[in-house]
C-alpha cells in the first residue's frame, strides 16, 4: 500500500494514545541541547528517564528532570571507545528505548543496531538508510526522483579537475557530503578561489557536494517530519529560520512556526521516497529567482530545535517512544503558527556580528511568544552549566570553520 502523504483525517477511528508510564528510556549524550526538550516531555508521559553524561556540567546531569544520571567517559573522536561505554551501560541495567541526540550517537546506534537491539529498542533506522540520508549527494538524487525542488547539482566531483571540467557557472557552492553546521561550506566565486580551498577542504571534511549557489535573500526553512512504521506522516512542523549563526551560513538561532502545504508536502514526499521512518529534519532555502523552497539536506536525528515542535503542540517524545516500541504512532495533523524559539547563546553572537541587527523581523528585542532552547524557569540551573561548556565549544567550532 502506498504511504499516505496527507496529515488530514483518513476516516479510520484514531486509537487512544498508549500508556507509556514506566517505560525505561535512555537518553544519550547529556550535553546535547535536544535533551532540554525531551527530558520533561518524557517525564510528563510517565517514562523513567536516564541520561548518559560525560560531565557534571552536561544538561542531562544538571537538570532536575532525569530519574537517573549516569556519568561515563565519552569521546566523540573515538567511536570504538564510546561504543564500549554504551555497550556496558546497556548490559548493566534494563532499558526499553534508547534515543540518540546527535549525529555521533545516531551513527553509533545505526552501526551497532543488532547489538543494541539485544538489550533495548533503538530509536534509529539501520546503517544503510542512515548513511544514505546523511549523504547530501544522495539526498539530491532522491529529490530528483521524487520531483522535489533542490539546487542544481553535479555529482561525483571527487577531484579539482572534475569540478573545473563540470561547466558549472560561478558562483557555486562546495560543502561536505556528510557534515553539519556549515563546517566546510564555501561559496566559490572564481577558479582561484576553488583552487585555494578545494583540496584542503576535501582532506579535512571528505568528499564534496558541488551545486549552484542560491542567493541567500529568500527565506530559510526547516520542516521536522515524523513518519510511522508504514511511512505515513504523523506530524510535520514547518518553521522559518529567522536568524542563523555564523551569519554567512550556519545553524539557526531564531525560528518561527508557519504553514505552507506545498513545502510540507514536498518534505514528506522526499522522506517517503527515501524510505525513512521516524523523526527527520529537512533544511530548505527559498530561491528568490523562482520563489520555490529547495531542499538542502536532511538531518536523520532529533535536532537542537526540536523544542519548537512541543511548543507548537506536537509531542515528538511520545512519537519516538511509540515507534520504537512498535505501537501505533500518535498523529498531530496541525500545530500552532507564530511560535518562536531562540537559541540565545548564538543569537547573542548574531546580534554582535550581523549588519542586519536592527532590521531583522521579528526584532531581536521582541520576546513575545518566544521560548529559549535551554532556559526554563522550572529548570534554570542547566542554562548556567551549559553556558560554561558553550564558551569552550564555540572556540572549537570556529576553529573548524577557519580550517
Instruction: Please give the pLDDT value at position 399.
Output: 58
Instruction: Please give the pLDDT value at position 391.
Output: 81
CA distance between the termini of the chain? 48
pLDDT band of residue 401 (cuts 50, 70, 90) is low
pLDDT in tens, 318-328: 999 999 999 99
CATH code for the domain defined by 152-212: 3.30.1490.20
Instruction: Please give the pLDDT value at position 402.
Output: 54
Has residue 147 got a pLDDT over 90?
yes
Instruction: Please give the pLDDT value at position 75.
Output: 95
| Structural contact between residues 251 and 181, judged by C-beta atoms closer than 8 angstroms | yes
Helix axes 316-324, 35-44, angle to 10 degrees: 70
CATH class of the structural domain 226-372 = alpha beta
Q: What is the DSSP string of 266-293?
A: HHHHHHHHHT--EEEEEEEEEETTTTEE
- For the segment(s) 24-124, the CATH number from 3.40.630.30, 3.40.50.20, 2.40.30.10, 3.40.190.10 is 3.40.50.20
Instruction: Please give the pLDDT value at position 1.
Output: 26
Instruction: Please give the pLDDT value at position 395.
Output: 66
Q: In what order do the strands lie in the sheet with 24-27?
A: 68-71, 48-53, 24-27, 97-99, 121-122
**Residue 382 has which C-alpha cell?**
542547566
pLDDT in tens, 29-84: 999 999 999 999 999 999 999 999 999 999 999 999 999 999 999 999 999 999 99
* Residue boundaries of the structural domains of the chain: 24-124, 152-212, 226-372
Has residue 109 got a pLDDT over 70?
yes
Residue ranges with strand state E in 142-205: 153-154, 172-176, 186-188
Segment 217-246 mean pLDDT: 94
| Euclidean distance between CA atoms 109 and 87, whole angstroms | 10
Q: 244-258, 266-280, 375-389: lowest mean pLDDT where?
A: 244-258
Instruction: Please give the pLDDT value at position 216.
Output: 82
Has residue 331 got a pLDDT over 70?
yes
Instruction: Please give the pLDDT value at position 14.
Output: 59
What's the chain's average pLDDT? 92
pLDDT band of residue 2 (cuts 50, 70, 90) is very low
Q: 6-15, 155-164, 344-353, 391-400: lowest mean pLDDT where?
A: 6-15
> How many percent of the chain have pLDDT more than 70?
93
Q: Identify which has the larger pLDDT, 157 or 13.
A: 157
Segment 158-168 mean pLDDT: 90
| Euclidean distance between CA atoms 100 and 105, whole angstroms | 5
Segment 239-245 mean pLDDT: 91
Amino acid at each position: 500500500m502506498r504511504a499516505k502523504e496527507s496529515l488530514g483525517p483518513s476516516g479510520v477511528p484514531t486509537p487512544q494514545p498508549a500508556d507509556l508510564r514506566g517505560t525505561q528510556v535512555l537518553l544519550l549524550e547529556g550535553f546535547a541541547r535536544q535533551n532540554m526538550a525531551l527530558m520533561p516531555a518524557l517525564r510528563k508521559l510517565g517514562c523513567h528517564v536516564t541520561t548518559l553524561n560525560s560531565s557534571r556540567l552536561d544538561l542531562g546531569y544538571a537538570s532536575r528532570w532525569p530519574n537517573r544520571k549516569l556519568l561515563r567517559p565519552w569521546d566523540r573522536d573515538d567511536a570504538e571507545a564510546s561504543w564500549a561505554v554504551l555497550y556496558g551501560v546497556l548490559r548493566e541495567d534494563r532499558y526499553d528505548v534508547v534515543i540518540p541526540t546527535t549525529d555521533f550517537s545516531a551513527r553509533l546506534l545505526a552501526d551497532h543496531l543488532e547489538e543494541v537491539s539485544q538489550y533495548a529498542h533503538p530509536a534509529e533506522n539501520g546503517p544503510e538508510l542512515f548513511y544514505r540520508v546523511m549523504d547530501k549527494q544522495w539526498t539530491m538524487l532522491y529529490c530528483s526522483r521524487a520531483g522535489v525542488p533542490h539546487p542544481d547539482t553535479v555529482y561525483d566531483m571527487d577531484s579539482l579537475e572534475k569540478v573545473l571540467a563540470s561547466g558549472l557557472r560561478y558562483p557555486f557552492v562546495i560543502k561536505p557530503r556528510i557534515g553539519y553546521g556549515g563546517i566546510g561550506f564555501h561559496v566559490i566565486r572564481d577558479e582561484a578561489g576553488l583552487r585555494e580551498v578545494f583540496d584542503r577542504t576535501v582532506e579535512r571534511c571528505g568528499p564534496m557536494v558541488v551545486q549552484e549557489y542560491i542567493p541567500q535573500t529568500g527565506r530559510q526553512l526547516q520542516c521536522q517530519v515524523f513518519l510511522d512504521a508504514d511511512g505515513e506522516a504523523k506530524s510535520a512542523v514547518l518553521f522559518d529560520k529567522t536568524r542563523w549563526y555564523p551569519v554567512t551560513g550556519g545553524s539557526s538561532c531564531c525560528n518561527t512556526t508557519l504553514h505552507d502545504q506545498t513545502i510540507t508536502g514536498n518534505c514528506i514526499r522526499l522522506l517517503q521516497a527515501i524510505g525513512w521512518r521516524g523523526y527527520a529534519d529537512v533544511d530548505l532555502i527559498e530561491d528568490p529567482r523562482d520563489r520555490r523552497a529547495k531542499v538542502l539536506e536532511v538531518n536523520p536525528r532529533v535536532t537542537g530545535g526540536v523544542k519548537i515542535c512541543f511548543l507548537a503542540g506536537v509531542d515528538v517524545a511520545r512519537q519516538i517512544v511509540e515507534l520504537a516500541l512498535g505501537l501505533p504512532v500518535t498523529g498531530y495533523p496541525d500545530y500552532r503558527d507564530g511560535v518562536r524559539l531562540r537559541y540565545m547563546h548564538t543569537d547573542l553572537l548574531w546580534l554582535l556580528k550581523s549588519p542586519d541587527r536592527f532590521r531583522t523581523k521579528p526584532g531581536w528585542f521582541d520576546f513575545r511568544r518566544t521560548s529559549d532552547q535551554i532556559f526554563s524557569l522550572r529548570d534554570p540551573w542547566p542554562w548556567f552549566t551549559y553556558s560554561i561548556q558553550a564558551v569552550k565549544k564555540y572556540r572549537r567550532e570556529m576553529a573548524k570553520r577557519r580550517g
